[in-house]
Structure 1
């Protein structure tokens, strides 16, 4: 629920509340916003005037609903700002630009296996400069970078073919700050994709879901009450290294039978070359169903959203394996959606999600994580280097 505050120092929060209400429900009048978020019409009018001045929203004539003149309506202006999304994988770099509606344009791709950090950040600097060409600097609200996880686990991070093997010891956040002249954000690929899904995909229908990320490896993130749940060290929801197959194949993490050894693009390429796609689907069917039930019993989501880098045709075939799922907490008669659904996003889910980390600086009423705060003058509304202290 979006709620404003009348507390001192609440203006930044209220701006994001108003802007998020416009994003979710626009076109919408000032009075409707005020009723919905618990602020006065005067406060909403003041905030919306500022948003209009900055170009983040647009004003249009309201639709007649009876006698008298209809109130003007507010909605997000897609061209009011843009953000860059970068995805570094063991297979190369993907980059793109999104506007405030989440539309992706200007995509760039570099195919290079296990690219070094030095070369990657040189390429990222060039890609970002190319993508934002023609945009005023104050309309570029940030750059988000997504990389495979998990983070900061000595025996798992930067180990094996599904990770960036040569990046151990690289301070990714600092290197990105040095490479681009905009606020920067770094996130797990699965969490970034889930974040983008919340803003621009199924998040308009579900507020609690598990995003199962089928990439080079296998990951996942939990969206709870509209927010990505991070965990104590930022790795919550990483399902790829659950050893679900007793006595199974050895994994680079040191365990045997980990899920991503069977269900991932790396596993798909390896096994399909050996036994063919149909045999692979038959081989993994019971493992995939067990993974879905494990997720449902652990997190109790409204649905498991199947997304990631996998082509939609492949994800549809995996979805077909869930027609006969075993019993779990999710086997409810009052369900509004299926237990497993396809992501609304395509193969660009991570790029859009990485860019959406920056867009959330405008929309999210929640404070940024400590390691996401880019520093002074990072607020896209703030034209000065002073901390805002106006209620």
Structure 2
């Protein structure tokens, strides 16, 4: 969506977000560049920039002279102008990280807890958020992003079985999260948060169209289209773990048989036959994995499929290594410049994506939501005071 401001005085809060979003997305820029791109006058932009510099969101610098005249003043995002906390809750426990505006991870911590209940999880979240705040005790904490396994609100699938968070159905997650953190909260499925992290800071940074296949305790995924996640009518698009892929196969807690995640997931890997090595397991599931790859490609036509998630790096790498030869799909192109499947190792994408949701949710241009008794107006992050 194109960033466009308005030269009306009452629209100044919105215009601040427009200007800051332009610098966040496009890097160093002059006042003239910004004015031209977002449709504001240079005078309006200059006034907003002065405010954003005073509030610590932007920094300015001058390039070395290259000829006659003064070099232009370049505006940069101040990495320490604000911070966000990313939280992930999985059947294995709770993780948290602190991220600055440049996407740098400043610290992280984890608490192991098998299939945590809501009360256990929120107690751990309160502890972890206190640890993250202590990393920048005087910093402006903008919000918290929260990632958890999906799909959401689906009969017989959501919060059912060993790959989900049993007992979480009907829990007012946003309200509880804002209560324990005292911060604006933003929530998404773990597949969406991880895909956002890969798009902004990982293997998908140069590819606006890719599918992120999330290999966690279960299996899911998200298609990134033009740099944004495809969510679907109810926010569950791309959740392929419950595609029946083996007719009459293993029973699944969802009530079907032969679902993909019964064969390709950490839960499946952990329950492999005693004595079966990782290599043997990978060789056994490779045909099912390849079939899933072709299904994703024929449905979404991505530039590439990025495989990542909670699985150990060596397991992700071993699975990707089997894709040197794949069945034919619409991705079998003569002009390919990227492999059909790539690996995303390390587990930071999920927490980075969760934190990035909070940064965008607080700072990006948006229509102000209607106020309700259970969702009062949040403190303006562009005030001179600290957001938290």
Q: Same fold (TM over 0.5)?
A: yes
Tell me the distance in 2 between the aligned counterparts of 1:307 and 1:368: 35
Residues 94-146 of structure 1, C-alpha deviations (whole Å, 9 max, x = no match): 11111111122331211111222112112211221221126467711001111
Match of 2:73 in 1: 72
Is it true that 1:330 corresponds to 2:304 in the alignment? Answer: no
- What is the Cα deviation at residue 333 of structure 1? 3.1
Query: Superposed, which structure 2 residues align to 1:1-391 within 5 Å?
Result: 2-6=2-6, 11-133=12-134, 135=136, 139-271=140-272, 273-343=274-344, 346-362=346-362, 364-365=364-365, 375-382=376-383
Contact 1:309 1:349 in 2 (8 A): no
- Structure 1 residues 331, 374: closer, same or farther in 2, change over 3 A? farther
Moved more, 199-208 or 182-191: 199-208
Aligned to 1:170, what secondary structure does the other structure show? Answer: coil
State the TM-score, normalized to the length of structure 1. 0.89
Aligned to 1:321, what secondary structure does the other structure show? Answer: helix
Tell me the distance in 2 between the aligned counterparts of 1:368 and 1:202: 33
Tell me the distance in 1 between the aligned counterparts of 2:200 and 2:366: 14
Moved more, 3-12 or 42-51: 3-12
- Structure 1 residues 65, 25: closer, same or farther in 2, change over 3 A? farther
- Structure 1 residues 183, 326: closer, same or farther in 2, change over 3 A? same
- What is the Cα deviation at residue 41 of structure 1? 2.8
Aligned to 1:275, what secondary structure does the other structure show? Answer: coil
Aligned to 1:249, what secondary structure does the other structure show? Answer: coil
Tell me the distance in 2 between the aligned counterparts of 1:241 and 1:121: 28
Tell me the distance in 2 between the aligned counterparts of 1:239 and 1:260: 8
Match of 1:387 in 2: none
Tell me the distance in 2 between the aligned counterparts of 1:369 and 1:224: 25
Aligned to 2:242, what secondary structure does the other structure show? Answer: coil
Aligned to 2:240, what secondary structure does the other structure show? Answer: coil
Contact 2:84 2:358 in 1 (8 A): yes
Instruction: Give the gaps of 5 or more residues in structure 1.
Output: 385-391
- What is the Cα deviation at residue 193 of structure 1? 0.9
Residues 329-358 of structure 1, C-alpha deviations (whole Å, 9 max, x = no match): 222333342222233x62122222111111
Tell me the distance in 1 between the aligned counterparts of 2:312 and 2:37: 39
Moved more, 141-150 or 161-170: 161-170
Contact 2:306 2:342 in 1 (8 A): yes
- Structure 1 residues 304, 18: closer, same or farther in 2, change over 3 A? farther
Tell me the distance in 2 between the aligned counterparts of 1:369 and 1:111: 36
Superposition RMSD in Å? 2.6
Tell me the distance in 2 between the aligned counterparts of 1:294 and 1:144: 31
Contact 2:6 2:39 in 1 (8 A): no
Contact 1:221 1:229 in 2 (8 A): yes
- What is the Cα deviation at residue 359 of structure 1? 0.9
Tell me the distance in 2 between the aligned counterparts of 1:28 and 1:273: 59
Tell me the distance in 2 between the aligned counterparts of 1:33 and 1:319: 42
How many residue pairs get matched? Answer: 382
